[in-house]
Structure formats: structure tokens, C-alpha cells
A and B are shown apart, each in its own frame.
Chain A
Amino acid sequence: MVNTLTTMRTLSMVNLGLTVADIPALILEFLTLNSKPIMQVLLMPGLAFILGFAIIAVWFERKFLARAMLRVGPYYCGGRSGVLQVFADFIKLFLKEMIFPDSVDWFFFALMPVMLSTIPSLALVLIPFDANWVLWDIGGLSLPMFLAIMGIAPLMAIFAGWSSNNKYSFIGAWRVAYMYISGEIPIIICSAAVAIMAGSFNLVKIVEAQSNGWFFIPQFLGFIIFFLGVLIQAERTPFDIPVAEVELVFGWRTEFSGILFGFTMMAEYVMFQAWTLLFITLYLGGYGGPILFGNIVGSHIFWLLAKFVVLIVFIILLRTVFPRPKIEQMIKFGWNYLTPLALLNLFIVLGLKLWGIY
């Protein structure tokens, strides 16, 4: 045993001609070689993008909603426009007491909010921000992998509501289940239609197949259905049935306090971000620019971000307009209209493909 260990040490350090003094140089070399992936993990599809989006979107949503209601919104916190409002909220939530009631299953209760905000952010590594800017390039598996990762997320919300052991959170958790079943199936059928039209499950190839025309023109039906599905999956306001503040106290989030509640709030925005980016990739040409005279104008990450901002503003604007449907109206809408129309969209795409129009 001792001999083996000695041999291994000899092999690793001495035979390669390395000493302890070389370690900083090795680390530096590792960082230089891998600077691009590290920057990608930390900055653009990674941590800074998600956190920055959550902070800016919460602030913008509060301010924008306030302006739509002829109010001022956050004003005194940080300068004269309330830019530090979200920081104040999160610092307060960090330093606030976390309550674990006696009746909760504390393991799931503590784990699920953290998982809920991390698992949807894992899906962001599959989004192409440019032709060579995919953090985890798994080729033809990327679209099914995205749907699989995002399909885990509702389970977290269900477990979170279940482990709270409170009647309101329990009702909210089962509403999450109803919502996701009626929203996810149309979304998957629509993505299948997109994959058939592009001829690949690879998200980069789907974007490149849209260089002649974005897919929302031939698949307008699928475009609308997918958009509604994004609203349902991200629990945005026309479909925020699981956290209905009037009927259930706060849905499946009722029992969370302190930073656990902060995580559930952030999770909503992470889901929102991931689904919106997939929506842009599938129907609005991803990172490709607008199409003028049959040619695409410059593929750049700027275009993806520009479309992203426009969509975010539009979705937040919807919140000021629409009231919330009841849960059975929502399920009826999902099963009676969205799913058959998504199938119709799939058949239209098959027809276009068979007759060779696309």
C-alpha cells in the first residue's frame, strides 16, 4: 500500500518534473486556457446574467406597474428612483428570522426553495447565445434536455407546498400540478413542430434554420400557443393561479419566511427567463438579426438580448391588463383549446414539410 502511494506520488509530481512552486503557474495556465468557459459560467449565460436579470426585472416590474396604475412606485430608496429597492428587500430577507413550523417536513421545506431557483437556471446552459456560445453543447439532445430540466421544476413547487403541511399551501401545490399538466403538453407538441420544421433537435441548428424566415410566420398558431404556455409555466399574472392571493393566502409559498421566501421569489424570475429565452430561440430567430430583403442582418448576441427585453416588457405589461381566470377555466382552456390547436399546428407543419414548402 505504502509502495503504491509512493509510486503514485512519484508519477504525479516528480516524473512530470513538477514541484510545489509550480502550482501557481499551473493554476494560471488553467485559467488562461479556460478563460472563456469560466467567463461564460460566471457572466453571460451564467450567474451574473441570472442575478442581474432578477434584480433589474423585479425593480422594473414594480416601477412599471406603478406607472401603469398612475402611482410613483419605489422612490426614496437609493437616489430618486428606488434603484436600490430590491437590494433592500433581499438584505432584509437575509437578516430576517426563518420560521420552521413544528408540522413541516424540514428537509424538503429547507431544500426545495433552493432547488427551485437553481434547477431552472441549469437549463440556461443549453441556450445558444451565439453559434459558438453554448455552454453545454450536446448537439441533437439540447431541446429534449431543456424540456426535461424544466419539467423537473414543477415537482419542486409541489414538494415545497406539500412539505409545508398547511391546507392553503397544499391546495396551491396541487394547483401547480394541474397548471403544469395543462400547460406543458401544448408546449412540448409545439416544440416538436419546430423541431420537425428545422429538421433537428439541436437549438443551434433550429436558429440557423430560421435564417430564411423566423418560424413565427409559418407557425403562427404554435407561436401563440407557446407564448401562452410560457405564461402558464412561469406563473405569470394571467395564470398565477397557484399563488392566488385572494383565494389561497399565498398559494404554495404561504409558509416560507425569510430568505426561503426570497428564493421562491427569485425562482419565479429564473423560470420566466429560461422559458422566454427558449421561446425566442424557437420562434423569433434566437441570436439572428432581422431579415431584410431575404438576408439576415448580422447574427449577434445583441439581437437575442434586444428581443428578450422587448418580450419581458410585453409580458410585464400583460400583468397590468388581465384578471386571473379560475382554476377550472384554466384547465378547460388548456385541454379544450391549447392542446388540440397545438396538434393542428403540428399537422400543418407536417403538411408544409411534405409538400416541400419548408
Chain B
Amino acid sequence: MANEEQLNRTLGNVPGAGAVYSLIDFIDGWARKYSIWPIHLVTGCCSPEFMQVCGSRFDMERLGILPFASVRQCDCIMVVGIVSRKMADRVKYLYEQMGEPKYVVAVGACPTGKGPFYDSYSVVAIDEYVPVDVYIPGCPPRPEAIIHGMMQLQEKIVKERRLGVKE
């Protein structure tokens, strides 16, 4: 860790290093913005809305969002629907299997904040287990809302800097 900091300090003093970092960050941000591959984790009943989003009327592939089968290749978990205490451990397990950079989108009122099951003993909000990037409220959210949420995620990805100066 100390070596890494020293390396960063040394490289930071090289003239032009910041420009190279910014360029790589720009290209990386652009590529990740248009190629979000979500894994479709159906924990509850918001999934018909998700199917609508992939279908012909609200086509999510316009934004480059392509659902994939295996979590190793994905960038984003979409937690679709109610998460019980037992399922939340599985969501965390799945999150840990995914490669960096990774994002989580909570779709629906239940994973966002327990929703209509606020007084249930077994329902949890998913941000107690994994870090959530975008919350999409609604019971269930309409497909337009899900697309809007994914566009918010794209804006967040573009503003990220993985290499450059972190403020």
C-alpha cells in the first residue's frame, strides 16, 4: 500500500501524467457508460416490468444495456423486487462474485426501503447488505422509471474517475 502511494506520488509529478490519466478515464467512462451488462436477479415480482424494459416497446438495448446470464461477466446487479433476510445473503454472495467496477440498482419499493412490508419481520432493505448506486422507487416502477434509473446510473458512471485525481 505504501509502495502504491509512493508510485502514485511519483507518477503524479511526471508532467503530462494527469492528461494521460484523464484520457484513459474518459475512454473508460465512455465505454462503461454504454456497455452496462446487468444480471437479472429476480427476488420478487417487479420482474415483469424488467421484461417489459427488455422487450420491444421500451427497448433497453438502445442504451447498450444487455442482460447476461453469468455474474462473472456482468457489471451491475438489478435487485428486482422484495428481498427477504434469507435472500439478502445470496445477493451479497452474488455481489462479491462480480468483477470491479460493479454497481447495484434497487428496483422497486421493497429493496429500496421495505415498501408495503415495512412491518414484516423478514423483509430487509438491500442497502443494509450491499452498496446501492441507484434507487428506483415505485410499486412496481413503470418501465420508463427503470430506464430513467439506468440513465442516472450512466451519468454517475461518466462522472467517476478511477485513475485520475480523487477530490
Contacts and interface: CB of A to CB of B under 8 A. Distances in A.
Interface string B77-110: 0000000000000000000010111000000000
Contact of B61 (A71, A87, A88, A255): A71
Given A69-B56, A89-B35, A74 B99 contact: no
Interface stretch (A15-23, A92-100, A137-145, A147-155): A92-100
Interface string A86-111: 01110110011111000000000000
A71 B72 contact: no
B31 interface: yes
Contacts of B27: 91
Nearest to B163: A95
Nearest to A89: B35
Interface string A22-63: 000000000000000000000000000000000000000010
B70 A75 contact: no
Contacts of A258: 99
B73 interface: yes
B72 A66 contact: no
Nearest to B36: A92
B130 to A, nearest CB: 17
Contact of B31 (A72, A82, A88, A261): A88
A261 B61 contact: no
A85 interface: yes
B70 A253 contact: yes
A257 B68 CA distance: 12
A239 interface: no
A77 interface: yes
A77 B64 contact: yes
B62 A74 contact: yes
Contacts of A62: 61, 66
Interface in B32-77: 32-35, 55-56, 59, 61-64, 66, 68-70, 72-73, 75
Interface in A249-274: 249-250, 253-258, 261
B34 A254 contact: no
B61 A76 contact: no
Contact of B72 (A82, A84, A87, A254): A254
B133 interface: no
A176 B77 CA distance: 29
A73 B28 contact: no
A292 interface: no
Contacts of A96: 75, 99-101
A95 B28 contact: yes
Contacts of B97: 99
Q: Chain A CB within 10 Å — which of B34, B62, B70, B75 has the most?
A: B70
15 contacts: A70-B56, A71-B55, A74-B62, A76-B63, A76-B64, A77-B35, A77-B64, A91-B27, A92-B28, A92-B35, A96-B75, A96-B100, A99-B72, A250-B68, A257-B73
8 tightest A-B contacts by CB? A91-B31, A97-B99, A77-B34, A75-B62, A250-B70, A257-B72, A71-B59, A70-B56
Interface of B: 27-28, 30-35, 55-56, 59, 61-64, 66, 68-70, 72-73, 75, 97, 99-101
